[in-house]
Amino acid sequence: MTTDELLSIEPQELQFPFELKKQISCSLLLLNKSDNYVAFKVKTTNPKKYCVRPNTGVVLPRSTCDVIVTMQAQKEMPLDMQCKDKFLLQSVITSPGATAKDITPEMFNKEAGHEVEECKLRVVYVARPGPPSPVREESEEGSSPRASVSDNGNYSVSEQSAVSRSHVQRPQPEENSYEAKALISKLTEEKNSAIQQNKQLQQELELLRHHSSRSRVGIPFLYIILVGMVGIVLGYLMKKT
């Protein structure tokens, strides 16, 4: 038996946008279409996994009540995103002016002769919505990205934000890689040039040292020759006299 006569439930299934290691909540709206006070109670096949607030209560005539169901953080991904957990919502007419404090388990006992209406709700895992797609850019060079325009001809706040983000300069890994390679090549060339210049300076220094040593050896020898020639000339003059 459904609860259409006493309570209307929306939605008819509990949908959780599943995410690992995070508590997820969804809500149920209970609508009392009758002129009676209706007491309700929520049960689940997996009470350790879910927290229901409130799990019991009274819905006043022609009024509504929100029930929040929270799924505890899960450590593992469910197989094929399927869930076998179920909920059972029981409702029964209670005395006028009743409150949640007046609710007892005996009120929902069918064997005691109480007319209890029941509604089974299944649990469904749904995929979380993905991030919004980036603003599409025109292929032509120099053209700016387009954003949709609202009916009144103005950009919406979200569209303006998307357009402004599209104008922010984005890093280009390929270009940065090319610049890095060019810099490395330039440094390598400068290093090789410095090594070549160092070798050339060393060669010139060796030549200077060689010439210097030869000049130091040649000067005394020349001096001896000159002294010998002067001695010969003086000897010849002395013989004539």
58: CATH: 2.60.40.10
Q: Are residues 17 and 117 in the same domain?
A: yes
Last residue of a domain, one of 79, 100, 126: 126
- Flag whether 228 is in a domain: yes
Last residue of a domain, one of 57, 91, 126: 126
Q: Are residues 14 and 114 in the same domain?
A: yes
Using one digit for the tens of pLDDT, what is the confidence trace for 35-58? 999 999 999 999 999 999 999 999
- Flag whether 207 is in a domain: yes
- Flag whether 139 is in a domain: no
Please tell me the predicted confidence (pLDDT) of residue 48.
95
Quote the number of domains for the chain.
Answer: 2
Q: Are residues 119 and 21 in the same domain?
A: yes
Going by pLDDT thresholds of 50, 70 and 90, the confidence category of residue 140 is very low
Report the sign of the C-alpha dihedral through residues 41, 43, 48, 49, in that order: negative
- Angstrom distance (rounded) from CA 191 to CA 210: 29
Last residue of a domain, one of 97, 126, 155: 126
- Flag whether 203 is in a domain: yes
Q: What's this model's pTM, rounded to 2 decimal places? A: 0.52
pLDDT of residue 102 exceeding 90, the answer is yes
- Flag whether 209 is in a domain: yes
Instruction: Tell me what the pLDDT averaged over the chain comes to.
Output: 81
85 vs 154, residue with greater confidence = 85
Q: Are residues 20 and 88 in the same domain?
A: yes
pLDDT of residue 114 exceeding 80, the answer is yes
Domain extent, residue 232, equals: 186-240
- Angstrom distance (rounded) from CA 235 to CA 161: 114
- Flag whether 234 is in a domain: yes
Using one digit for the tens of pLDDT, what is the confidence trace for 178-201? 778 888 888 888 888 888 888 888
- Flag whether 141 is in a domain: no
Please tell me the predicted confidence (pLDDT) of residue 38.
97
- Angstrom distance (rounded) from CA 66 to CA 123: 18
Instruction: Tell me the average pLDDT across 225-235.
Output: 80
Q: Are residues 117 and 197 in the same domain?
A: no
Instruction: Tell me the average pLDDT across 14-22.
Output: 93
- Angstrom distance (rounded) from CA 108 to CA 223: 137
Q: Are residues 110 and 205 in the same domain?
A: no
Q: Are residues 28 and 104 in the same domain?
A: yes
Q: Are residues 122 and 15 in the same domain?
A: yes
Going by pLDDT thresholds of 50, 70 and 90, the confidence category of residue 16 is very high
Please tell me the predicted confidence (pLDDT) of residue 2.
46
Using one digit for the tens of pLDDT, what is the confidence trace for 80-92? 889 999 999 999 9
217 vs 129, residue with greater confidence = 129
- Flag whether 152 is in a domain: no
Of the ranges 27-36, 71-80, 183-192, the best mean pLDDT one: 27-36
Q: Are residues 28 and 105 in the same domain?
A: yes
Q: Compute how many other C-beta atoms are within 10 angstroms of the C-beta atom of residue 88.
A: 13
Q: What's 132's DSSP letter?
A: P
